Structure 1
C-alpha cells in the first residue's frame, strides 16, 4: 500500500511539477498561478469567439444564393483582418483608453492607440493586457460580422472596406466604452455582461441602416408589395453555422468572467445553454403552431436569438429565468422576422431580428430578473423588478439599449449615406444578377456547379 502511494505521488509530481515547486518553497506564487490560469482561459475563450467567424461564413453563405458564396467567405476573412488593424490602431484606445480625464471619459476613452503592451503580465495584474486585447478584438469582429447581414448579396466590396474602417475604429468602440470601459452607462450601472447591446444590437442597427439605404434585392418584392421568398442554397450550412456559433458562445459569455477563480464562469456557461435551448424550442413550436409546419430556418434563428438574449443576463439570473428569457426570444424572433418582411426590409440573415430584437429583449430582461446575490457577485447595477429592486434597473437597461441602439443606427446611416453619395453602395443590376463571386472577384465559389448549371441566377 505504501509502495503504491509513493508511485502515485511520484506520477503526480511528474504530471504537475508545480506541486514539487510548492513543496520546495521556491515555486511560483499563488497569485502567479492564478494569473496564468486566468490568462489561459481568456485566450481559449478568445479563440472560441474568433472561430465564430466560421459560423458567420456558413450562416451567410447558406442563407444566400450559390452565386455569392465565395464572396461571402472571402469578404468575411478580409474584414476580420482589416478590423483587427484598425481596432489595434484606434478602436481599443477609444474603448478602453483611460487618459481622457474624468469628464471626457464618460463619453470616450483616450489612450492606448497603436496598442503597445508589456511582454508579460505586470505585478498585480489578473491577466496579461495582450490577452485582454485579443479577447475584446474578437468581440469587435463579431459585431461587424452581424452588420454584414444588412449588406448581403448587393453591396460593393469597397463599401465593406470603408465601413469596416469606421465601424471598427469609432462606432463599436464608443459604445463598448459607454458600458464596459467606464463610460456614463457603466456609471449608471448598466448590466450587459457579454454584449446583448454592445455587440449584438450595435451590429444589428448597422445592418438596419444598410438595409434601408441599399434597398431590397432584385426580385424580393413584387409591384403589389407582396414578397417572394429567396431561399438560401444550403440549409445544412446554416445548421452547422448555428452549432459553431452555439459552441463559440461559451467563450463569448463564460469568457467574459475573465477569471477562473471560484468557477463562476461555469455558472455563466450553464445559463447560456439554458437560454439557447429555450430559444430553439420556442421558435420551432411557434412556427409549427402558426404555419402548420415546423420551420427549420426559424428554429435555427430561435437558437441564436436565445443565445443573444441570454448574453446580457447570463451572470445575473437564476436558471428558470434563463429558460424564460430564451423562450421569449424564440417567439420574438419569429414575429420580428414577419414584421421586417412586412415593412419590406430585406434582411437575408435575419440580423435585425436575431441580434436586434433579441438583443433588446435580453438587455431589458436584466431589469426584471437580476437577483441580489448575482448582482453582488458581478458587482454591477442593482437587482431587477421581480426581486424587489423596483423599476430602477429596468430603466437603466432601457436607457442603455435606446441610447446605444440610436447611436449605432444614426452613425452607421450617416457613414453609409456619405459613401452612397460619393461612390455608391450597390453593385449594378447586371452584377447583382451575375452574382458577386464573378462580378467582384472574377471567379465562382462553386466553379463546377455553376458552369455545369448553365445559369448564373441560382
Structure 2
C-alpha cells in the first residue's frame, strides 16, 4: 500500500470513529435532560433526541450540507453538494466527501439538541419536528457556511472557531434562548409576583451519567476536528479540552460553595459542560493555562447567567443558554485574547491573540462573528416559531402539560412500575 492510500485510510478511520463519539453524545443529551426534567416528561426528551438524529441527518443530507459546504455564492451560502452530488471539488481534504458529511452530520445533530432542553416539558412534538427541520436545513448550515464554508465571509475575515464555540454553541444557545422566551415558562415555575419556584430534577445520577458521556464525546468533538489522524495537535487539543472541563467543574464547585454555602450538584454538572463549551473554539490555539482560565470563568459565569434568566422570568429547564450561549460566547472571544502565535501559525492562520501581541484585530473579528451568528440564531428561531404557530400549536395544552408530555403526547409513562397493562385514560384521571 502506498503512503497516500495509507494516509486516506487512517484519516477515514479517525474521522468515522470521532464522528461516532459525537453521535454518542446524543445519549448524553438524552440522559442529562431526562435527569433534569420531571419524571412525567422523560419520554418526551428521548423522543426529541430521536427527532434530532433522524430528521436532522436526513435534512442535512438533502439540504443542509450543500448550503453549508457547497460551492460558495457571495460568501453567503453553498450552492452544490445537495444529496452529496454536484461540484464539491473545493473541499480539499484527505478523506472522502461521504466521510466528511458523516462528521459534519454529527455536529448538526448536536446543535438542535441544545434547543430541545430549553423548551422541555412544554413544546408540542409536531412543532418541534418542524423547528428541527428548519434548524438543520437552514439556520445552522447558513451560519456555518459563513465561518467554515470555503469562501464564507466571516472565515475570509479571519474568524477562528476550531470546533464550534460560536457556530454550534453560541448559535444553539441563542436559538434556545429565543425558543424559551417565545414559548414561555412552565406552569407554576414563577409566582404571580415573579418569584422563581424550584423545580427539582427527577434523577441527578442519570443527569451525571449524561454529563460524563458528553465529556467523553467532546474529545471526538474537538480532537476529531483536525480531520487528520496524524495531526501533531491532537494531543494538545485533548489536554486543553480536559483541563477546561475540569476547571469549569472545579470553579463551579468553589463558587457555589461560596455563594450558596454548599456545592450545587446541577450547577456543577453544568459547570463542567460550560468549560467544555468554552474551550471548543480555541482548543487547538490556546495554551494549557489559558484553557484552565477559560473553563473556570465559563463555569462561574454559567451560574450567574442561570440566576439572571431566573430573575428575568425566563424558564430554561436544563440551563441550555447559560451553558451553551454564554460559554460559547466567552470561548469565542477568548480566542481573540489567548491564541498563541506558534499555535496559530502552525495551521496557517494570520493573527494571534491580544495577550500575545496580536493587537485587537483577531478579537474584533471574533466579536463581530459572534454577534452575527448569535443574532442570526435568535432571530431566525423566533421567525420560524412564529411561522409554525400560524399552522399549529407550538405549546401543548394546559391539561397535557399538567399530565406530563409522556402520557399527554406520547401515551406512555417513562417508568411502568410493573403494571401488566396500561390504561392511558386511567393514567390521565390520576394526575
Q: TM-score normalized by structure 1?
A: 0.89
Instruction: Pick closer, same or farther for the CA change 1:192–1:250 going to 2, 3 Å.
Output: same
State the secondary structure of the residue aligned to 2:229: coil
Matched, 1:44 2:12: no
State the secondary structure of the residue aligned to 2:376: helix
Structure 2 unpaired stretches of 5+ = none
CA contact under 8 A between 1:435 and 1:457: conserved in structure 2?
no
Report the structure number with the largest CA radius of gyration: 1
Partner of 2:135: 167
CA contact under 8 A between 1:94 and 1:173: conserved in structure 2?
yes
Report the Cα offset of residue 449 of structure 1.
7.6
Matched, 1:108 2:77: yes
Report the Cα offset of residue 127 of structure 1.
1.1
Inter-partner Cα distance in structure 1 for 2:418 and 2:337: 52
Inter-partner Cα distance in structure 2 for 1:47 and 1:90: 22
In the comparison of the two structures, how many residue pairs are matched? 423
Map 1:2-81 to 2 at 5 A. 28-81=1-54
Instruction: Pick closer, same or farther for the CA change 1:335–1:266 going to 2, 3 Å.
Output: same
Matched, 1:403 2:357: no
Report the Cα offset of residue 261 of structure 1.
2.2
Partner of 1:144: 112
Inter-partner Cα distance in structure 2 for 1:449 and 1:349: 29
Matched, 1:215 2:184: yes
Report the Cα offset of residue 206 of structure 1.
1.4
Partner of residue 131 from structure 1, selected from 85, 99, 105: 99
Report the Cα offset of residue 150 of structure 1.
1.9
CA contact under 8 A between 1:381 and 1:393: conserved in structure 2?
no
Report the Cα offset of residue 418 of structure 1.
1.5
Report the Cα offset of residue 230 of structure 1.
0.6
Instruction: Pick closer, same or farther for the CA change 1:381–1:158 going to 2, 3 Å.
Output: farther
Matched, 1:435 2:408: no
Runs of 4+ in 1 over 3 A off after TM superposition: 454-458
Inter-partner Cα distance in structure 1 for 2:377 and 2:333: 18
Partner of 2:123: 155
Instruction: Pick closer, same or farther for the CA change 1:281–1:444 going to 2, 3 Å.
Output: same
CA contact under 8 A between 2:285 and 2:335: conserved in structure 1?
yes
Matched, 1:445 2:414: yes
Inter-partner Cα distance in structure 2 for 1:319 and 1:125: 28
Partner of 2:70: 97
Matched, 1:294 2:236: no
Q: TM-score normalized by structure 2?
A: 0.95
Inter-partner Cα distance in structure 1 for 2:36 and 2:315: 13
1:31-77 C-alpha deviation (Å, 9 max, x unpaired): 11111111111111000000000000001100001111112112211
Report the Cα offset of residue 401 of structure 1.
0.6
Partner of 2:393: 424
Inter-partner Cα distance in structure 2 for 1:215 and 1:449: 35
State the secondary structure of the residue aligned to 2:263: coil
State the secondary structure of the residue aligned to 1:229: coil
Of 70-79 and 165-174, deviating more is: 70-79
Partner of residue 322 from structure 1, selected from 291, 302, 313: 291
Inter-partner Cα distance in structure 2 for 1:232 and 1:379: 46
Map 1:370-409 to 2 at 5 A. 370-409=339-378
Partner of 1:24: none
Inter-partner Cα distance in structure 2 for 1:284 and 1:117: 51
Inter-partner Cα distance in structure 2 for 1:189 and 1:230: 43
State the secondary structure of the residue aligned to 2:280: helix
Instruction: Pick closer, same or farther for the CA change 1:128–1:83 going to 2, 3 Å.
Output: same
State the secondary structure of the residue aligned to 1:444: coil
Partner of residue 162 from structure 2, selected from 189, 193, 196: 193
Inter-partner Cα distance in structure 2 for 1:239 and 1:381: 40
